[in-house]
């Protein structure tokens, strides 16, 4: 316990006892049991490993489909998925984060939003996208199947949020990876890509419902909670996280869009392959960071024990990012040349720059996800907006000057500057960085504030 001073209504000050707090945490300090540290590490490894395995299975499915000449199926999958991702963000951006971090009423509202707004919007979007692209030779059955896959994946994000709040990470891994195996087997036996993905989506839904048990979306108690009024209320609850999602989406794609305006298709294809590797590694790290987010949500809402926030998941993610950065940078020539079959040495340099950005990206996202876990949505959104504001001028200057190299430098620079901006207040609070330069005050060892 520590003593502090509190003002009373009459202008007097009295000492009060307050619990000591963890650095950077809002909760009381308690010794974390060794078993909890081990559990957090295990959950982080399971979450990140399942994300990596899912990415590898997806890559295998697409590679086998490409080898079999299913370019039309792959094109339909790429186009419809990209367009419906924008529809999902426009209608319900940030809702998966609110669902995993919110209270009971907020979670009921997000479920209502999915049924009354997200599902109809994505269905209409699928038909509209199909009508537009069918004139370019895309097949209706393939586009409708991909639309159903996108709807199922959108729902799966909320189902996985239910499992994460209950710390059911092994079950989450079963949902994430188990559905990919039937798709892979179907493609190996000659099935169409979109048909295999549709079957995988149905399997994913059924497995998720089985794993959720009493929290299943199909239980009558869940269905009676749904209402259009609750669906509309999400827009008021979710304004910060909606902006957060838009800023994150923008930061991840602005360099690619800027490069596409000046680069040839050949260069864009090479950069797209390299940036896909970076995004896949980033997805693995974000999966590990979700463990820390869930831990803070459970503490804040009184689910489980009353111990302070566990930083083990963050340490695992940052350590993993550092190892990934080193391995990717060292193996960049082999990845770009032998694995991706890219023609020259330029992509290897781009990949090295993006690999160096991984630890910085992980630290920045750890900060924002921890704030979301603590329900400080406004501060998390301001950090993500800062990241978007930093990458914009870098991309405007660097991409026209250096092409793909400039795009990679912009990504690295924005992440480094974001972490630097986060670190300065931390240093100032500890007296290691003066707010205003000047000589030390008399009798003090630190510079004047």
pLDDT single digits (tens) 281-300: 998 999 889 888 998 999 88
The helix/strand/coil state of 192 is: coil
User: For residues 446 and 114, which has the higher predicted lDDT (pLDDT)?
Assistant: 114
- Provide the percentage of residues in the chain whose pLDDT is more than 70: 85
Spatial distance between the Cα atoms of 117 and 111, rounded to a whole number of angstroms: 10
Q: At how many degrees (to 10) do helices 71-92 and 193-212 cross?
A: 40
177 pLDDT band, cuts 50/70/90, is very high
Asked whether the predicted pLDDT for residue 98 surpasses 80, the reply is yes
Q: 58 versus 209: which is more confidently predicted? A: 209
Buried b (16+ CB within 10 A) or exposed e, 91-107: bbbbbbbbbbbbeeebb
Instruction: Please tell me which residue, 28 or 151, carries the higher pLDDT value.
Output: 151
368 Rama class: left (phi>0) / alpha (psi -120 to 50) / beta: alpha
Q: How confident is the model at residue 1 (pLDDT cuts 50, 70, 90)?
A: very low
Name every residue whose Cβ is closer than 8 Å to that of residue 423 and which is 6 or more positions away in sequence: none
**pLDDT at residue 305, rounded to an integer:** 57
Question: Hey, is 190 helix, strand or coil?
Answer: coil
Instruction: Output the six-digit token pair for 177.
Output: 């990876």
42 token code pair: 């295990």
- Match 């680069």 to its residue by tokens: 263
- Model confidence band, residue 309 (pLDDT cutoffs 50, 70, 90): low
- Please name which of 107, 166, 169 lies closest in space to residue 304, comparing C-alpha atoms: 166
Specify the pLDDT at position 48: 87
pLDDT level of residue 434 (50, 70, 90 thresholds): low
**Phi, psi at 21, each rounded to 5°:** -120, 155
Encode pLDDT of 38-75 as tens digits: 677 888 889 889 988 998 898 889 888 888 888 889 88
- Over residues 202-218, the mean pLDDT reads 93
427 confidence band (pLDDT: 50, 70, 90)? low
Which CA distances in Å does 94 have to 8, 88, 163, 305? 40, 10, 18, 28
Phi-psi domain of 190 (left: phi exceeds 0; alpha: psi -120 through 50; beta: other): left
The torsion of the CA quartet 82, 88, 93, 95, rounded to 10 degrees, works out to -130
| Residue in this structure with the two tokens 């039309």, named with its chain if needed | 72
| N-term to C-term CA, the chain | 28
Neighbours of 287 (CB within 10 A): 25
* CA pair distance 373, 300, nearest whole angstrom: 8
* Averaged pLDDT for residues 13-17: 41
Interatomic CA distance for residues 421 and 267, integer angstroms: 33
126 within 8 A of 92, measured Cβ to Cβ: no
pTM score, whole prediction:
0.82
**What does the DSSP 8-state code read for residue 290?**
H
Cα–Cα distance for residue pair 119/129, rounded to 1 Å: 15
Q: What pLDDT, in 10s, does the model give residues 365-395?
A: 999 999 999 999 999 999 999 999 999 999 9
Q: Look over the chain and give the mean of its residue pLDDT values, rounded to a whole number.
A: 85
CA atoms within 13 A on the CB side of 131: 6
Quickly list DSSP for 361-376: HHHHHHHHHHHHHTT-
Query: How sure is the predictor about 243, in pLDDT bands with cuts at 50, 70 and 90?
Result: very high
Q: How far apart are CA 396 and CA 254, in angstroms?
A: 10
- Alpha-carbon distance of 435 to 339, in angstroms, equals 49
Question: Does pLDDT of 76 surpass 70?
Answer: yes
Token couple for 312: 């083990």
Residue 315 is predicted with a pLDDT of 87
| pLDDT tier at 17, thresholds 50, 70, 90 | very low
Q: Is the pLDDT of residue 146 over 60?
A: yes
> pLDDT category, 4, cuts 50, 70, 90?
very low
**Is the predicted pLDDT of residue 357 greater than 80, yes or no?**
yes
pLDDT of 141 reads 94
- Is residue 432 predicted with pLDDT exceeding 60? no
Alpha carbon of residue 180 to chain centroid: 20
pLDDT at 276: 84
Q: Of 17-26, 78-87, 353-362, 421-430, which range is least confident?
A: 17-26
DSSP letters spanning 395-446: HHHHHHHHTHHHHHHHHHHHHHHHHHHHHHHHHHHTTSS-SS--PBPTT-SS
């Amino acid at each position: 316990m520590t003593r502090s001073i509190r003002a009373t209504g009459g202008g007097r000050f009295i000492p009060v006892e307050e619990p000591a707090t963890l650095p950077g945490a809002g909760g009381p300090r308690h010794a974390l049991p060794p078993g909890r540290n081990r559990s957090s590490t295990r959950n982080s490894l399971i979450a990140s490993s399942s994300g990596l395995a899912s990415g590898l299975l997806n890559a295998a499915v697409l590679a086998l489909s490409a080898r079999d000449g299913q370019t039309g199926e792959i094109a339909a999958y790429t186009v419809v998925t990209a367009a419906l991702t924008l529809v999902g963000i426009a209608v319900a951006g940030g809702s998966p984060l609110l669902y995993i971090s919110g209270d009971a009423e907020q979670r009921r509202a997000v479920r209502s939003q999915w049924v009354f707004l997200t599902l109809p919007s994505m269905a209409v979007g699928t038909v509209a996208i199909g009508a537009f692209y069918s004139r370019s030779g895309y097949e209706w059955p393939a586009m409708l199947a991909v639309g159903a896959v996108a709807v199922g994946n959108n729902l799966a994000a909320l189902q996985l949020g239910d499992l994460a709040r209950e710390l059911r990470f092994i079950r989450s891994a079963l949902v994430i990876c188990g559905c990919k195996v039937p798709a892979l087997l179907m493609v190996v036996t000659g099935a169409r890509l979109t048909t295999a993905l549709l079957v995988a989506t149905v399997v994913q839904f059924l497995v998720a419902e089985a794993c959720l048990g009493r929290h299943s979306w199909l239980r009558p108690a869940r269905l009676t909670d749904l209402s259009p009024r609750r669906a509309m209320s999400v827009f008021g609850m979710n304004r910060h996280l909606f902006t957060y999602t838009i800023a994150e989406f923008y930061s991840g794609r602005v360099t690619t869009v800027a490069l596409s305006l000046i680069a040839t298709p050949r260069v864009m294809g090479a950069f797209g392959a390299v940036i896909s590797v970076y995004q896949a590694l980033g997805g693995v790290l974000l999966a590990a960071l979700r463990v820390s987010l869930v831990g803070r949500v459970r503490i804040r809402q009184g689910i489980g024990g009353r111990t302070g926030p566990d930083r083990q998941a963050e340490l695992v993610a940052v350590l993993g990012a550092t190892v990934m950065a080193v391995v990717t940078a060292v193996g960049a020539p082999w990845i770009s040349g032998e694995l991706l079959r890219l023609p020259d040495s330029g992509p290897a340099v781009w990949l090295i720059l993006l690999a160096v950005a991984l630890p910085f990206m992980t630290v920045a996202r750890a900060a924002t996800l921890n704030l979301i876990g603590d329900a400080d949505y406004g501060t998390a959104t301001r950090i993500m907006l800062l990241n978007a504001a930093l990458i914009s001028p870098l991309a405007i200057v660097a991409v026209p000057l250096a092409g793909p190299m400039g795009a990679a430098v912009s990504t690295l620079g924005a992440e480094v500057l974001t972490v630097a901006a986060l670190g300065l207040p931390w240093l100032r609070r500890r007296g290691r960085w003066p707010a205003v330069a000047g000589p030390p005050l008399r009798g003090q060892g630190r510079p004047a504030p």
